[in-house]
Amino acid sequence: MPTVKDQKPKRKKRPEINPLLDKKVLTGSEVMIRSLIEEDVDFIFGYPGGVVIPVFDKIYNVSRPKLVLCRHEQGAQHMADGYARASGRPGVCLVTSGPAATNLVTGIATSYMDSIPVVHFTGQVATTAIGNDAFQEVDIIGITRPITKHSYLVRNVEDLAATIKEAFYIATTGRPGPVLIDMPKDVLLSECEFEYPEEADMPGYKPTRHGHVQQIKKAAEAMAGARRPVFYVGGGAVLSDCSQELTKIARKAKIPVTTTLLGLGAFPENDPLSLGMLGMHGTWYSNMAVNEADLVIAVGSRYDDRVTGKVDAFAAKAGHIHIDVDPASISKNIKVDYPIVGDCRSVLQKMLPMVKKSDTAEWLKLIGHWKESHPLKYDDDGTVIKPQYVIEKIHEVCGDDTVVVSDVGQHQMWTALHYNFVKPRTHITSGGLGTMGFGFPAAIGAALSGPKGKVVAIVGDGGFQMTCQEVATAVSQRLEVIVCILNNGFLGMVRQWQELFFGKRYSHTCLEYTNPDFVKLVEAYGAKGLRVTKREDVVPTLREAAGTRNMPVFIDFRTYRHENVFPMIPPGKMATDIIE
Amino acid sequence: MRHTISLLVENKFGVLARISNLFSGKGYNLDSICVGETETPELSRMTIMTSGDDMVIEQIIKQLNRLINVIKVTDLTFDEHVNRELALIKLSCTASMRNSIIQIVEIFQAKIVDISPRTLTIEVTGGHKKVEACINMLQPFGIREIARTGTTALKREYSGSSPDWSAARASA
Ligand SMILES: Cc1ncc(C[n+]2csc(CCOP(=O)(O)OP(=O)(O)O)c2C)c(N)n1
């Protein structure tokens, strides 16, 4: 049944090969670049150094893939990650050995936790020197083993092309994830005949794509019989691009939908069936719906502790259907009644014709009542700039197609709660690892992937300073990203925990007196910097930023400093312990 | 509960590290691991002895299956299977003690593989419990050193009621 598009993105047309690379015998460096051309890679995010100088030398002549020079390897990794999240195509990263390779580690772990396809190329000392503590030698394969889907040390140049083929296949299929290829210096310099394999065939890697029809049928029957069903949708739904199918099924069966942080956008939040985000900082009604549900239909989600809180108490009255491409995600934390292993999109496509309208009128009435009695809200007396207000205005000014990339902290949760995402792949954030410093470089990657709409990064004053050297990258690429710094002069999220759980002892969370002047900072790089201290300037300044061409704009929003993120289920507690 | 898990893996760089990393990283028990080449030189068989409740064992099997170089994972615990472990046991042994030790060696169908005026080295093979019992019986004589292989295992091929089965059992 040819229903599902291949997970591998379709190739437009055979890319042109630079004449300098169009020969039979190539060096390892040339093999690498030719292979990337075969994979239709348009950008490499990288940084040069010792052992990869030969590769950089070859890239010098090539217009595609284009090398984007970052200012720190962590930045390059987050850019490749953001590129992949926004476009669905694999991101590519190239750095040298030793410290450059270790600088990737935080980023690789970020991609691994959120199942993002990124292929990393690291230089390595010559095969003869490996193990001798040579200059800039580090066992990057060993260091990254727990945070990659797979990795390769290439010992012979003859293996390089096939390894790259496998790496892209592994990164983009099944449950996607980061792959690393370590390339010793002598491999990059020696020569071989170039031949790019048509297919990657690995005896131990055969991801299941199509769910078991009988299981899907049983699940559809359970859905029809449920009185209080709820969809619980995670990042896997976004990765498999199943929004259309999901939306059709939810509307046909009249089943409400809640999403995780990474699932935002998979179901339009302006639909009456949407409950918004669930979990620690989820809406009151989504957490209550899951708590009272008799059937939870998990799609590409993984029962993460930020979602479940106390696991035994999570959806305790419900049966569970779990659709996921990774069998290991199913019944990991909670015993599932209807496990379905397969690509979410393929499974939902098969399920769609089997779905009947469930008898959920009572249930939806109850939820409607909850939405009225416990709405998502924040106090706003109109005198200060509330961060939630800024986020609502960003949506108003920039529109539904805008890709919003958040960093980690309070602003991330406010973005998730108050932005109202309606399209898939318009919300990007580091969910699983919660990596501060991710947002801004990921936005650069997202912008380079050529999305339909604008790209806006929403970051905190703390997290922005972790990777702000990439302003130089954004300027050099003349990217029109808008970076909204929600500047509260605090490591806000930590300050909130200190306020609530540590007797208001604000130990080392106040940044106000040592923060740089962000406007001057970005101006020093040649970017445009704007500051907003009055509420009435929020919208005009956003408009100005949206109208600025050929350069990034950074807006320093001085937001109300003591705002907290609510609702909140304290860690390890259950839905009914929610603080509003 | 103790489980015997058999793996068929590609004979590639770092495979053993990936598997042991998985166990240490996720906090699974790893009682023993035994690796060797198979009939096909590109493939190795690993036998892993581990323990945990049903949900943990299910996760272990799924996580092993996720590894790219792992081709097949079989939980042999509830299948009829042959499993063997080998131990080399070096005892302090003077001439006067030899006879009593030889008696024990015979009972366990073990072998004496090295002898010196003061020591005796015994090789015993069998299931985990048999090897354990043999070591316990030898303990009083003064064990100097022990080297054990860990368990290796293969599924039995009879199907229960087939007529050949008693013959197969007898020679096993
Ligand atoms: C790399 C890293 N270090 C530390 C943390 C812990 N942490 C989580 S949120 C947070 C505060 C973030 O402050 P800021 O960037 O100003 O954003 P805000 O919460 O104020 O919106 C910290 C320190 C983290 N998530 N990542």
**CATH number for the domain harbouring residue A321:** 3.40.50.1220
* Interacting residues of A397 by C-beta distance below 8 A, sequence separation 6+: A539, A542, A543, A546
Residues A461 and A526 in one domain: yes
The residue of chain B with its CA nearest to that of A334 is B55
How far is the C-alpha of A465 from the C-alpha of A283, rounded, in Å? 30
Residues A173 and A218 in one domain: no
Range of the domain at A279: 213-373
Catalytic residue among A183, A493, A568, A574: A493
pTM of the model: 0.94
Contact B55 A335 (CB under 8 A): yes
Question: Which amino acid, one-letter code, is at B77?
Answer: T
Is CATH 3.30.70.260 the right assignment for the domain spanning B2-81? yes
ipTM value: 0.88
Residues A227 and A346 in one domain: yes
How far is the C-alpha of A76 from the C-alpha of A519, rounded, in Å? 24
Q: What angle do CA B147, B137, B95 make, to 5 degrees?
A: 85
What is the DSSP secondary-structure string of A100-117?
HHHHTHHHHHHHHHTT--
For an interface test with B, the pick among A201, A331, A333 (most B C-beta atoms closer than 10 Å) comes out as A331
Kindly state if the Cβ of A411 falls inside 6 Å of ligand 1: yes
Catalytic residue among A23, A135, A365, A501: A135
Number of domains in chain A: 3
Last residue of a domain, one of A316, A340, A373: A373
**Does residue A285 fall inside a structural domain?**
yes
Last residue of a domain, one of A373, A404, A427: A373
**Does residue A202 fall inside a structural domain?**
no
Residues A236 and A182 in one domain: no
**Does residue A156 fall inside a structural domain?**
yes
- Do B2-81 and B83-153 share a fold? yes
Q: Where are the domains of chain B?
A: 2-81, 83-153
**Does residue A128 fall inside a structural domain?**
yes
Residues A149 and A219 in one domain: no
Structure tokens at A381: 């007396």
What is chain A's pLDDT, residue by residue, as a tens digit (580 residues)?
344 444 455 555 666 777 778 889 999 999 999 999 999 999 999 999 999 999 999 999 898 999 999 999 999 999 999 999 999 999 999 999 999 999 999 999 999 999 999 999 999 999 999 999 999 999 999 999 999 999 999 999 999 999 999 999 999 999 999 999 999 999 999 999 999 999 998 999 999 889 999 999 999 999 999 999 999 999 999 999 999 999 999 999 999 999 999 999 999 999 999 999 999 999 999 999 999 999 999 999 999 999 998 898 999 999 999 999 999 999 999 999 999 999 999 999 999 999 998 899 999 999 999 999 999 999 999 999 999 999 999 999 999 999 999 999 999 999 999 999 999 999 999 999 999 999 999 999 999 999 999 999 999 999 999 999 999 999 999 999 999 999 999 999 999 999 999 999 999 999 999 999 999 999 999 999 999 999 999 999 999 999 999 999 999 999 999 999 999 999 888 888 999 8
B102-132: string of b/e by CB count within 10 Å (b at 16+)?
A: eebbeebebeeeeeeeeebbbebbbebebbe
CATH superfamily of B83-153: ACT-like. Chain A, domain 2 (3.30.70.1150)
Query: Within an 8 Å CB–CB cutoff, is residue B14 touching chain A?
Result: yes
How far is the C-alpha of A486 from the C-alpha of A414, rounded, in Å? 11
